[in-house]
Protein backbone atom coordinates (compact mmCIF):
# COMPACT_ATOMS: atom_id res chain seq x y z
CA UNK A 1 0.00 0.00 0.00
CA UNK A 2 1.24 3.49 -0.90
CA UNK A 3 0.96 6.41 1.52
CA UNK A 4 2.69 9.14 -0.51
CA UNK A 5 2.94 9.40 -4.25
CA UNK A 6 4.72 12.13 -6.22
CA UNK A 7 4.42 12.52 -9.98
CA UNK A 8 6.31 14.97 -12.22
CA UNK A 9 7.21 17.05 -9.17
CA UNK A 10 9.71 19.91 -9.29
CA UNK A 11 10.39 22.35 -6.47
CA UNK A 12 12.68 25.29 -5.67
CA UNK A 13 15.02 24.50 -8.53
CA UNK A 14 16.25 21.63 -6.35
CA UNK A 15 13.93 18.67 -6.89
CA UNK A 16 13.03 16.91 -10.10
CA UNK A 17 11.02 13.77 -9.40
CA UNK A 18 9.45 11.93 -12.35
CA UNK A 19 7.62 9.54 -10.00
CA UNK A 20 8.12 8.36 -6.45
CA UNK A 21 6.01 6.23 -4.13
CA UNK A 22 6.53 5.80 -0.39
CA UNK A 23 4.90 2.77 1.22
CA UNK A 24 2.50 2.89 4.14
CA UNK A 25 3.26 1.11 7.42
CA UNK A 26 6.98 0.97 6.64
CA UNK A 27 10.17 2.76 7.66
CA UNK A 28 11.69 4.61 4.71
CA UNK A 29 15.03 6.38 4.96
CA UNK A 30 16.11 9.20 2.65
CA UNK A 31 19.86 9.42 2.14
CA UNK A 32 22.16 11.52 -0.02
CA UNK A 33 24.78 14.21 0.06
CA UNK A 34 24.15 17.68 1.47
CA UNK A 35 22.15 19.74 -1.02
CA UNK A 36 20.68 16.72 -2.78
CA UNK A 37 17.10 17.74 -1.91
CA UNK A 38 16.37 15.53 1.09
CA UNK A 39 14.88 18.22 3.35
CA UNK A 40 12.97 19.83 0.48
CA UNK A 41 11.37 16.46 -0.24
CA UNK A 42 10.43 15.99 3.41
CA UNK A 43 8.90 19.49 3.57
CA UNK A 44 6.80 18.69 0.49
CA UNK A 45 5.48 15.60 2.28
CA UNK A 46 4.37 17.88 5.14
CA UNK A 47 2.93 20.63 2.89
CA UNK A 48 5.37 23.11 4.39
CA UNK A 49 6.48 23.72 0.81
CA UNK A 50 4.42 23.40 -2.36
CA UNK A 51 5.74 21.98 -5.63
CA UNK A 52 6.34 24.36 -8.52
CA UNK A 53 4.96 21.68 -10.78
CA UNK A 54 3.42 18.25 -10.42
CA UNK A 55 1.17 16.55 -7.92
CA UNK A 56 1.49 14.87 -4.55
CA UNK A 57 -0.99 12.34 -3.16
CA UNK A 58 -1.41 11.41 0.49
CA UNK A 59 -3.34 8.24 1.23
CA UNK A 60 -4.64 8.28 -2.39
CA UNK A 61 -5.96 11.85 -2.09
CA UNK A 62 -4.36 14.71 -4.10
CA UNK A 63 -2.86 17.51 -2.06
CA UNK A 64 -5.24 20.11 -3.46
CA UNK A 65 -8.14 18.23 -1.89
CA UNK A 66 -6.67 18.14 1.62
CA UNK A 67 -6.50 21.11 3.96
CA UNK A 68 -2.83 21.64 4.94
CA UNK A 69 -3.69 21.71 8.64
CA UNK A 70 -5.53 18.39 8.35
CA UNK A 71 -2.60 16.98 6.34
CA UNK A 72 -0.11 17.96 9.09
CA UNK A 73 -2.25 16.33 11.78
CA UNK A 74 -1.83 13.00 9.99
CA UNK A 75 1.76 13.52 8.79
CA UNK A 76 3.72 15.12 11.63
CA UNK A 77 7.17 16.50 10.90
CA UNK A 78 10.03 16.76 13.39
CA UNK A 79 12.73 19.13 12.08
CA UNK A 80 16.41 18.62 12.76
CA UNK A 81 16.52 21.71 14.99
CA UNK A 82 13.95 20.93 17.72
CA UNK A 83 11.20 23.42 18.48
CA UNK A 84 10.54 23.70 22.19
CA UNK A 85 8.12 25.87 24.13
CA UNK A 86 8.42 27.53 27.51
CA UNK A 87 7.38 25.29 30.37
CA UNK A 88 7.88 21.75 31.52
CA UNK A 89 8.57 18.57 29.62
CA UNK A 90 4.90 17.70 30.15
CA UNK A 91 3.81 21.04 28.68
CA UNK A 92 5.92 20.39 25.60
CA UNK A 93 4.51 16.89 25.14
CA UNK A 94 0.90 18.02 25.48
CA UNK A 95 1.15 21.07 23.23
CA UNK A 96 1.15 19.08 19.99
CA UNK A 97 -2.14 17.47 20.99
CA UNK A 98 -3.53 20.90 21.86
CA UNK A 99 -2.57 22.32 18.45
CA UNK A 100 -4.21 19.31 16.77
CA UNK A 101 -7.42 19.69 18.77
CA UNK A 102 -6.93 16.31 20.44
CA UNK A 103 -7.54 15.46 24.11
CA UNK A 104 -4.60 15.48 26.50
CA UNK A 105 -2.63 12.30 27.05
CA UNK A 106 -2.28 10.69 30.48
CA UNK A 107 0.96 10.94 32.41
CA UNK A 108 1.46 7.23 31.74
CA UNK A 109 1.23 7.78 27.99
CA UNK A 110 3.67 10.68 28.19
CA UNK A 111 6.13 8.66 30.25
CA UNK A 112 5.91 5.80 27.73
CA UNK A 113 6.72 8.20 24.88
CA UNK A 114 9.77 9.41 26.80
CA UNK A 115 10.91 5.81 27.37
CA UNK A 116 10.61 5.12 23.66
CA UNK A 117 13.15 7.86 22.93
CA UNK A 118 15.38 6.97 25.89
CA UNK A 119 14.57 10.17 27.75
CA UNK A 120 13.44 9.10 31.18
CA UNK A 121 12.99 12.54 32.75
CA UNK A 122 10.54 13.95 35.26
CA UNK A 123 7.52 15.36 33.46
CA UNK A 124 7.67 18.48 35.63
CA UNK A 125 11.27 19.28 34.73
CA UNK A 126 11.85 22.56 32.87
CA UNK A 127 12.39 21.73 29.21
CA UNK A 128 14.85 24.61 28.88
CA UNK A 129 17.35 22.66 31.00
CA UNK A 130 17.65 19.81 28.50
CA UNK A 131 20.74 19.31 26.36
CA UNK A 132 20.58 19.49 22.58
CA UNK A 133 20.25 15.73 22.20
CA UNK A 134 17.58 15.61 24.90
CA UNK A 135 15.64 18.39 23.21
CA UNK A 136 15.77 16.47 19.95
CA UNK A 137 14.35 13.39 21.65
CA UNK A 138 11.65 15.43 23.40
CA UNK A 139 10.48 16.78 20.03
CA UNK A 140 10.35 13.21 18.72
CA UNK A 141 8.37 12.05 21.77
CA UNK A 142 5.90 14.90 21.24
CA UNK A 143 5.25 13.69 17.70
CA UNK A 144 4.81 10.10 18.89
CA UNK A 145 2.22 11.21 21.46
CA UNK A 146 0.13 12.67 18.63
CA UNK A 147 -0.20 9.15 17.13
CA UNK A 148 -0.16 10.31 13.49
CA UNK A 149 -0.38 8.11 10.43
CA UNK A 150 3.12 9.21 9.44
CA UNK A 151 6.19 10.56 11.19
CA UNK A 152 8.42 12.74 9.00
CA UNK A 153 11.81 12.96 10.68
CA UNK A 154 14.76 15.13 9.63
CA UNK A 155 17.96 13.64 11.09
CA UNK A 156 16.30 12.62 14.39
CA UNK A 157 19.50 11.12 15.82
CA UNK A 158 22.04 13.69 14.58
CA UNK A 159 22.73 15.04 18.10
CA UNK A 160 23.07 11.58 19.68
CA UNK A 161 26.06 9.33 20.21
CA UNK A 162 26.03 6.08 18.24
CA UNK A 163 24.89 3.85 21.10
CA UNK A 164 21.99 6.12 22.08
CA UNK A 165 20.99 6.55 18.43
CA UNK A 166 20.85 2.77 18.03
CA UNK A 167 18.75 2.35 21.16
CA UNK A 168 16.31 5.07 20.09
CA UNK A 169 15.97 3.57 16.62
CA UNK A 170 15.45 0.05 17.98
CA UNK A 171 12.63 1.22 20.24
CA UNK A 172 11.09 3.58 17.69
CA UNK A 173 11.01 1.13 14.79
CA UNK A 174 9.59 -1.64 16.97
CA UNK A 175 6.88 0.73 18.20
CA UNK A 176 5.83 2.09 14.80
CA UNK A 177 5.75 -1.37 13.22
CA UNK A 178 3.54 -2.63 16.03
CA UNK A 179 1.23 0.36 15.56
CA UNK A 180 1.24 0.21 11.76
CA UNK A 181 2.62 3.74 11.47
CA UNK A 182 4.70 5.08 8.60
CA UNK A 183 8.11 6.69 9.09
CA UNK A 184 9.91 8.75 6.46
CA UNK A 185 13.29 9.73 7.84
CA UNK A 186 16.28 11.64 6.55
CA UNK A 187 19.52 10.27 7.92
CA UNK A 188 23.22 10.84 7.26
CA UNK A 189 23.96 7.44 8.79
CA UNK A 190 24.20 4.55 6.36
CA UNK A 191 24.27 2.25 9.38
CA UNK A 192 20.85 3.46 10.53
CA UNK A 193 19.42 3.28 7.00
CA UNK A 194 20.73 -0.23 6.37
CA UNK A 195 19.83 -1.52 9.85
CA UNK A 196 16.39 -0.06 10.51
CA UNK A 197 14.76 0.91 7.19
CA UNK A 198 12.43 -1.24 5.13
CA UNK A 199 13.32 0.82 2.06
CA UNK A 200 15.86 3.51 1.19
CA UNK A 201 15.47 6.46 -1.18
CA UNK A 202 18.82 7.79 -2.36
CA UNK A 203 18.75 11.40 -3.55
CA UNK A 204 21.31 12.69 -6.03
CA UNK A 205 21.16 16.23 -7.41
CA UNK A 206 17.48 16.47 -6.52
CA UNK A 207 16.50 13.23 -8.23
CA UNK A 208 15.61 9.98 -6.45
CA UNK A 209 17.66 7.12 -7.83
CA UNK A 210 15.04 4.59 -8.82
CA UNK A 211 11.84 4.39 -6.80
CA UNK A 212 13.44 3.47 -3.49
CA UNK A 213 15.26 0.20 -2.84
CA UNK A 214 14.15 -2.40 -0.38
CA UNK A 215 16.59 -3.21 2.40
CA UNK A 216 17.29 -6.92 2.53
Domains and CATH numbers, the chain: 2-214 (3.40.50.300)
Of residues 95, 100, 80, 145, the one with CA closest to residue 119: 145
What pLDDT was estimated at residue 121? 95
Paired sense of beta strands 53-58 and 2-11, if any: antiparallel
Give per-residue pLDDT as tens, 94-144.
999 999 999 999 999 999 999 999 999 999 999 999 999 999 999 999 999
Any alpha helices (H) in the chain, and if so which ranges?
A: 38-45, 68-74, 89-99, 107-116, 132-145, 162-179, 190-196
Give per-residue pLDDT as tens, 166-213.
999 999 999 999 999 999 999 999 999 999 999 999 999 999 986 656
- Going by pLDDT thresholds of 50, 70 and 90, the confidence category of residue 53 is very high
Can you tell me the mean pLDDT for 52-73?
A: 94
What pLDDT was estimated at residue 59? 94
Q: For the chain, give the mean pLDDT.
A: 94
pTM of the model: 0.94
According to DSSP, residue 48 is labeled S
Q: Is 73 left (phi over 0), alpha (psi -120 to 50) or beta?
A: alpha
What pLDDT was estimated at residue 189? 93
Residue 215 has pLDDT above 60, yes or no: no
The SS3 of residue 131 is: coil
What pLDDT was estimated at residue 145? 97
Task: Tell me what percent of the residues of the chain surpass a pLDDT of 90.
Answer: 92
What pLDDT was estimated at residue 216? 45
Amino acid sequence: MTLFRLKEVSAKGVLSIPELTIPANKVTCIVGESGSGKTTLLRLLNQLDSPDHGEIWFDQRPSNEIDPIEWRRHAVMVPQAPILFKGTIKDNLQIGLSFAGKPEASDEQLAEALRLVCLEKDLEQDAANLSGGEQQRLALARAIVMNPAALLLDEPTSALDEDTADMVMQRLTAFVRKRGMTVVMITHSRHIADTYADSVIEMKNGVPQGNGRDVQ
